Amino acid sequence: MMKKLRKAVFPVAGMGTRFLPATKVIPKEVLTLVDRPLIQYAIDEARAAGIDEFIFVTARGKSALEDYFDRAPELESSLRDKGKNDLLEALKASEMPSGAIAYVRQQEALGLGHAVWCARRLIGDEPFVVMLPDDVIAAEKPCLQQMVEAYDEKPGNYVAVMGVPRELTKQYGVFDLDPWDGDRARAKGMVEKPEPEDAPSNYAAIGRYILQPSVMDELRKFKKGAGGEIQLTDAIADRITAGDPVYGYRFAGRRFDCGSKVGYLQATVAFGLARDDLRDDFAAYLAEYMGFMNAAE
């Protein structure tokens, strides 16, 4: 019988060097997109997909990330005394039941595959999800929920994919895919960061995965790949070779790379304009600013 997806792994041990000096003291996952930290968007997406166990693979300097999901009795008391019930309600998004979150340390930066492997004892023999909080996806139906529905229909390993310009394939894991069956296509192979001329397609993996526990069997071999790191892509590719079903899933939505400054700014604009309470004032400002810039030229 197919086991229900209950667990999600969040690899959050990275130092966020592209956002220095801010990330000298603030984990990049706690950087805010409008008024919620990046990690909150990932947690909300996981909850919408039915996930109820959350595993954070962390490192030194991530205490603010852990504190975010803790209760803040003094703050709550102050807001209650002042009658700020709307803000009390907003705080509920960051509340997690006791025991719902577990933390494990990645003591060496050996790659994404190694970070996932660090969660092996908490995963056990269950299928699991991997979510990269840097990848924020705006979608009418949350991306992971779309993937779980596809998984429930046809079990296997699933990786969210999107088409990228061929010159950018060297920044991603890239799939060799069979013909599309709706929004899914079975993978024939997967290559980490190929040069454009060597890329089997322009369909790149992004930070949403549904994986079977057999992937851990590959990760435990500690095989080094691109950049001398243990790559999750390589472990998935080895399961394809072993005959496991691996599917690329073409989700409905727009992905923002919030691990880059430009992507983070793009997401800020998109999510700001999507808010009913911000849209009008923000859109008016952007129009005024662009008019000023055009006039200056």
Mean pLDDT by 10 residues, the chain (297 residues): 86 87 88 93 95 92 82 86 86 80 89 93 94 95 96 95 92 91 92 88 94 93 82 91 94 94 96 94 92 74
Do 277 and 158 fall within a single domain?
A: no
User: Are residue 203 and residue 142 in the same domain, yes or no?
Assistant: yes
Note whether residue 2 is domain-resident: no
* 174 dihedral zone (left: phi>0; alpha: psi -120 to 50; beta): beta
Closest residue by Cα to residue 13 from 193, 174, 134: 134
Q: How far is CA 241 from the centre of its chain?
A: 26
Q: Are residues 173 and 284 in the same domain?
A: no
In a domain, 1, yes or no: no
Residue among 90, 37, 45 nearest 62 (CA)? 37
Range of the domain at 294: 261-297
111 and 226 both lie in a single domain? yes
Q: Which residue type occupies 59?
A: A
What confidence score (pLDDT) does residue 134 get? 93
Tokens at 93, concatenated = 């998004």
The reply to whether 107 falls in a domain is: yes
**CB 145 within 8 Å of CB 49:** yes
115 and 17 part of one domain: yes
174 within a domain of the structure (yes/no): yes
CB 130 within 8 A of CB 232: yes
Asked if 203 and 288 sit in the same domain, the reply is no
Residue 59 in domain: yes
> Are residue 166 and residue 293 in the same domain, yes or no?
no
Assess if residue 104 is contained within a domain: yes
Q: Which of 251, 148, 232 is nearest to 193 (CA)?
A: 232
- For residues 46 and 82, membership in a common domain is answered with yes
What's the confidence (pLDDT) of residue 297?
67
Say whether the peptide bond before residue 73 is cis (omega within 30 degrees of 0).
no
- The reported pTM is 0.90
Closest by Cα among 117, 122, 14 to 59:
14
Give the domain CATH number at 90: 3.90.550.10
Asked if 210 and 294 sit in the same domain, the reply is: no
Residues 150 and 66 in one domain: yes
> So what's the pLDDT on residue 249?
96
Residues 106 and 31 in one domain: yes
User: What's the structural domain count of the chain?
Assistant: 2
